[in-house]
Chains A and B, each alone.
Chain A
Amino acid sequence: MKATHPSIRVTVGHQPPQAAAPGAFAEASPELQQAFTPPIDIHEGPDGLTLEADLPGATEANLIIQLEDNVLSLHARIEPPAPEGARTLHEEYHVGDYYRSFILSDEVDRERITAELRNGVLRLVLPKADRARARRIEIRS
């Protein structure tokens, strides 16, 4: 889906952002090969962006959200739900880690980004910096 006039921008990538942040994730990349790309939604409101990602199995302890330069990445390490030694009888999904990264535009206020995890859904709120928000200029008489 294309945004008509996004005043702040999040570039959504399916791959670890090697091109965007050379070297930044290089040391972590071998283990990221197995990671799944979680589906996301992005809403843009007047005050900023809200990003939601389906991350079943993610907990506050095993989810790492990182902001490095302009790259926001999320990485969740998922523990297998079955006890060790359990035999798989039927498999529709593989248990694995989640990884996804986003490029933030300068209009996002990095200091005020908040994250909330609920029922396996991560919600990231990315507020616009004050200078990027539409402002009314009073005309003095």
Chain B
Amino acid sequence: MGRSNQWRREPFIPFNFLQNELVRVLEDYFQPEGRGGGQSPPTDLEPSGWSPLIDVYETPEDTIVVAEIPGVDPTKIELSISGNLLILRGVKEIGELPEAQLQVRERRFGTFLRQVMVPGDVDFDAAQADAKNGVLTVRMPKRRAAQPRTIPIRPS
């Protein structure tokens, strides 16, 4: 197996970013209603900007991180790993239509940096990422030792 994959070790995470993530975790704890009207996903780069919402799933074989990235060029997303953190960077660019013609603006744009703690013992080197229809899916197989197994009992 070649070593050419998109993963890169993250040397440094800005402190205010971690702080923002902590604030978000606390907000989630106190207001656990999910996708709310005034909820703003965290970003340390542009406080008024946009950053993707993330769900994490688990199957017996894989841990799956799913991010909503409508309008983000998938080729410009940077995925990296730091310890057990999966880090997502990218930009949702404003379209080419002139601002002067704007009548309604509800969509938000900007650079984003998100990190998610990937629980369990996963094999990042065997991870597969796929972006289509504005949804990024990162599938990370669990290491064999972390997969559930049944242990047969030999009859005596």
Contacts and interface: CB of A to CB of B under 8 A. Distances in A.
A40 B95 CA distance: 13
* Residue from the set B72, B97, B106, B119 with the largest chain A CB neighbour count within 10 Å: B106
Interface string B90-108: 0000010110011111111
A86 interface: yes
Contact of A119 (B70, B97, B102): B70
Interface residues of B, number: 38
A39 B55 CA distance: 20
A5 to B, nearest CB: 11
A56 B64 contact: no
Given A55-B134, A92-B35, A81 B73 contact: no
Contacts of B63: 89
Contact of B105 (A36, A41, A120): A41
A88 B54 CA distance: 11
Contacts, number: 130
A41 B106 contact: yes
Contact of A93 (B68, B103, B119, B133): B68
A97 interface: no
Interface in B130-156: 133-135, 137
B74 interface: yes
Contacts of B106: 39-41
B72 A41 contact: no
Size bracket of the A interface: 35 or more
B110 to A, nearest CB: 13
B78 interface: no
A50 B95 CA distance: 11
Contacts of B68: 56-57, 93, 120
A86 B60 CA distance: 8
A125 B95 CA distance: 14
A77 to B, nearest CB: 13
Given A82-B64, A89-B56, A90-B56, A57 B133 contact: yes
Contacts of A41: 95, 102, 104-107
A93 B56 contact: no
A41 B28 CA distance: 28
Given A3-B103, A43-B97, A89-B57, A120 B71 contact: yes
Given A3-B103, A121-B71, 11 more contacts: A10-B103, A45-B98, A81-B66, A83-B64, A86-B59, A87-B57, A87-B59, A89-B57, A91-B34, A92-B34, A117-B133
A-B residue pairs, 10 tightest by C-beta:
A120-B134, A120-B70, A56-B134, A39-B106, A90-B56, A54-B70, A82-B57, A56-B68, A42-B104, A93-B53
